[in-house]
């Protein structure tokens, strides 16, 4: 009887302690968030409004926080630590770079990239994700220097978009596709993926060159359509897998479903200029659609890498029985896409320079 009393007493004290601890940590979290918000509001900010910069640098429903043009390169680098309407875009992808590099070394200890040929598609996809984040962070940090730099930066950004779509599909077909689908379409799938990657880069660069501000809706269609086709093709192995499986019984499948939903949510924010469409000027520094899209892309990459790794763990015996992928095929396909994208960017950069007489 005394043991039961003691147990009841201990359980009630443990419950109280647990509730107190949770309440304490929630209070601390709230305080830190409040301090971070206050610090963000107090950060030095760039005060230029949309009517004080050339139209090329303006975005719909964004009214404040623009940086001056034709400043030294150091001005734009230092803006990394100040508040402007691109700060979130830059930092979300700088964090992505660091996390993908961390994952590269983390998964190397488990997959042994340098000796395990079956891990090479994983290494290639991590490299394409890192390049995508680098291109995006670079573009959003430095594009305000001049009209010429602005156009060039976002042409480079499209290289990252093209590579990320290719790397995602390469990852999905090798590790997450059902075996019958992999055997039926492996090399053809990668070849089509390569073509779609080149097409996405080309059409995005063409839209950047051909259309002028204020951009007509056809510009976004020209950019989003090839990217959407590339994305749909890259997730085709995941869709087949999700359709034929019990999703909530497997953490890898939950990650795959999450990355699809997150990408659709982010693309909706970006494509329809929400939520800033409903409150122009209120979300200039934090919370505009482009910011939310960047955060979603980062979370998509995180879900993708962890989900695919869990697939590899589950199907390792099947994957190891396949013919080993050749390094020239894995790395060569990535470098060939980079080469084609680089040629496209150089071509359109020259056309832009001649057409707009940019310095």
Which residues make up each annotated binding site? 140, 290, 294
Q: Is the separation of the CB atoms in 298 and 96 below 8 Å?
A: yes
CA distances from 353 to 154, 204, 273, 323, 356 (A): 14, 17, 29, 48, 6
| Cα–Cα distance, 97 to 136 (Å, whole number) | 10
| Cα–Cα distance, 329 to 348 (Å, whole number) | 28
| Cα–Cα distance, 165 to 151 (Å, whole number) | 22
Chain Cα centroid distance, residue 49: 28
- Three-state DSSP at 136 gives helix
| The residue to which tokens 């009887």 are assigned | 1
- Three-state DSSP at 281 gives coil
Neighbours of 251 (CB within 10 A): 12
Which residues make up each annotated binding site for Zn(2+)? 140, 290, 294
| The residue to which tokens 């693309």 are assigned | 267
Q: Is the separation of the CB atoms in 312 and 122 below 8 Å?
A: yes
R_g of the chain, CA atoms, integer Å:
24
| Cα–Cα distance, 217 to 23 (Å, whole number) | 49
| Cα–Cα distance, 343 to 295 (Å, whole number) | 30
């Amino acid at each position: 009887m005394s043991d039961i009393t003691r147990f009841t007493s201990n359980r009630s004290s443990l419950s109280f302690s647990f509730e107190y601890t949770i309440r304490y940590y929630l209070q601390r979290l709230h305080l830190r968030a409040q301090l971070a918000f206050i610090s963000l509001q107090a950060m030095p900010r760039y005060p230029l409004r949309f009517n004080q910069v050339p139209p090329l640098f303006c975005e719909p429903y964004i009214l404040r926080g623009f940086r001056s043009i034709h400043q030294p390169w150091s001005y734009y680098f230092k803006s990394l630590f100040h508040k402007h309407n691109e700060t979130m875009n830059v930092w979300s992808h700088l964090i992505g770079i660091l996390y993908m590099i961390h994952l590269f070394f983390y998964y190397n200890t488990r997959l042994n990239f340098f000796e395990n040929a079956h891990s090479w598609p994983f290494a290639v996809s991590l490299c394409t994700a890192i390049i995508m984040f680098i291109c995006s962070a670079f573009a959003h940090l430095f594009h305000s220097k001049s009209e010429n730099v602005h156009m060039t930066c976002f042409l480079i950004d499209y290289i990252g978009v093209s590579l990320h779509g290719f790397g995602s599909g390469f990852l999905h077909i090798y590790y997450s596709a059902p075996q019958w689908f992999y055997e039926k379409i492996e090399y053809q799938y990668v070849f089509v993926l390569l073509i779609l990657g080149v097409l996405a880069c080309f059409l995005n660069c063409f839209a950047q060159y051909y259309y002028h501000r204020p951009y007509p809706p056809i510009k976004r269609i020209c950019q989003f359509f090839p990217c959407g086709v590339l994305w749909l093709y890259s997730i085709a192995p995941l869709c087949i897998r999700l359709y034929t499986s019990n999703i909530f019984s497997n953490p890898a499948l939950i990650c795959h479903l999450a990355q699809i939903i997150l990408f659709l949510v982010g693309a909706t924010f970006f494509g329809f200029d929400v939520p800033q469409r409903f409150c122009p000027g209120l979300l200039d520094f934090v919370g505009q659609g482009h910011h939310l899209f960047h955060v979603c892309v980062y979370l998509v990459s995180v879900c993708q890498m962890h989900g695919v790794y869990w697939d590899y763990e589950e199907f390792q015996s099947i994957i190891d029985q396949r013919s080993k992928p050749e390094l020239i095929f894995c790395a060569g396909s990535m470098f060939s896409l980079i080469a084609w994208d680089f040629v496209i960017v150089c071509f359109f950069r020259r056309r832009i320079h001649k057409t707009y007489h940019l310095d």
